[in-house]
């Protein structure tokens, strides 16, 4: 059990250390490690965890780490108490780098915030953040693989089982882009509509 807890800590510490752009950008990093690289949980379970993480209060990346830590320990068969311990370890590990990075960035910002090079660096990082958030969205739509010759893409039918799911997705996306509704209203509205049509 301690070996798996140690792996959880290292994995989420590195995710927290190398993430840039908030919780949405962190999702593709978490998926890459816990689903693809380590196979701790299935893609379907990860999708459910993302949905729960978005629906519960708090930052989505931290919520996701909490749920993943619990599920990894439960799936390994260590019991409920170890699941709670896995949640604590993963959550602590993913936020720990932020404390160190925060103080370093504050010091750098206070020293270099008027520097043109600093402003240009921050501006250059914005497309990378947008790319990471886009990658997180793609993780919930398609599953990728490799058959030894060329990449394979598979639509995640468990997330988009029929045309109604695509219409709901398109409506939520359009409302978000147009800024006619806030994220909380969109999530709640999509949840209610999903309950009614499914």
Domain positions in the chain are: 2-156, 160-198
**8 A C-beta contact, residue 97 and residue 16:** yes
Mean pLDDT of 112-133: 79
Task: Examine the pLDDT at 40 and tell me if it is beyond 80.
Answer: yes
Residue that wins the pLDDT comparison between 75 and 136: 75
pLDDT of residue 93: 94
Count Cβ atoms below 10 Å from residue 87 Cβ, excluding itself. Answer: 20
pLDDT of residue 162: 82
Mean pLDDT of 26-52: 87
Task: Examine the pLDDT at 137 and tell me if it is beyond 90.
Answer: no
Residues 90-117: tens digit of each pLDDT:
999 999 988 887 788 788 777 777 778 8
Residues 148-196: tens digit of each pLDDT:
777 777 777 767 778 888 888 888 888 888 877 888 888 888 888 888 8
pLDDT of residue 125: 79
pLDDT of residue 66: 93
Task: Examine the pLDDT at 67 and tell me if it is beyond 90.
Answer: yes
Residue that wins the pLDDT comparison between 66 and 80: 66
151: CB partners within 8 A, 6+ apart: 144, 145
Mean pLDDT of 65-70: 92
CA 32 to chain centre: 10
pLDDT of residue 85: 93
Q: How confident is the model at residue 47 (pLDDT cuts 50, 70, 90)?
A: confident
Q: Which of 1, 114, 16 is nearest to 59 (CA)?
A: 16
pLDDT of residue 118: 77
Residue that wins the pLDDT comparison between 128 and 33: 33
- Distance, CA of 149 to CA of 62 (rounded, Å): 37
């Amino acid at each position: 059990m301690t070996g798996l807890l140690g792996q959880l800590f290292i994995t989420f510490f590195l995710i927290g250390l190398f993430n840039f752009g908030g919780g949405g950008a962190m999702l593709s990093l978490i998926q890459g490690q816990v689903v693809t690289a380590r196979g701790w949980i299935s893609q379907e379970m990860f999708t459910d965890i993302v949905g729960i993480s978005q629906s519960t209060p708090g930052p989505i990346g931290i919520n996701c780490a909490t749920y993943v830590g619990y599920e990894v320990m439960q799936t390994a068969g260590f019991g409920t108490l170890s699941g709670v311990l896995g949640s604590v370890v993963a959550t602590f590990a993913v936020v720990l780098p932020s404390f160190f990075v925060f103080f370093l960035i504050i010091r750098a910002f206070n020293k270099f915030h008027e520097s043109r090079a600093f402003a240009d660096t921050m501006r250059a990082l914005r497309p990378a953040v947008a790319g990471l958030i886009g990658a997180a969205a793609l993780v919930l739509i398609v599953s990728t693989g490799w058959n030894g010759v060329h990449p394979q893409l598979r639509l995640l039918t468990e997330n988009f089982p029929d045309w109604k799911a695509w219409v709901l997705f398109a409506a939520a996306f359009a409302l978000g882009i147009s800024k006619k509704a806030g994220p909380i209203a969109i999530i709640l509205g999509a949840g209610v509509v999903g309950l009614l049509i499914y």
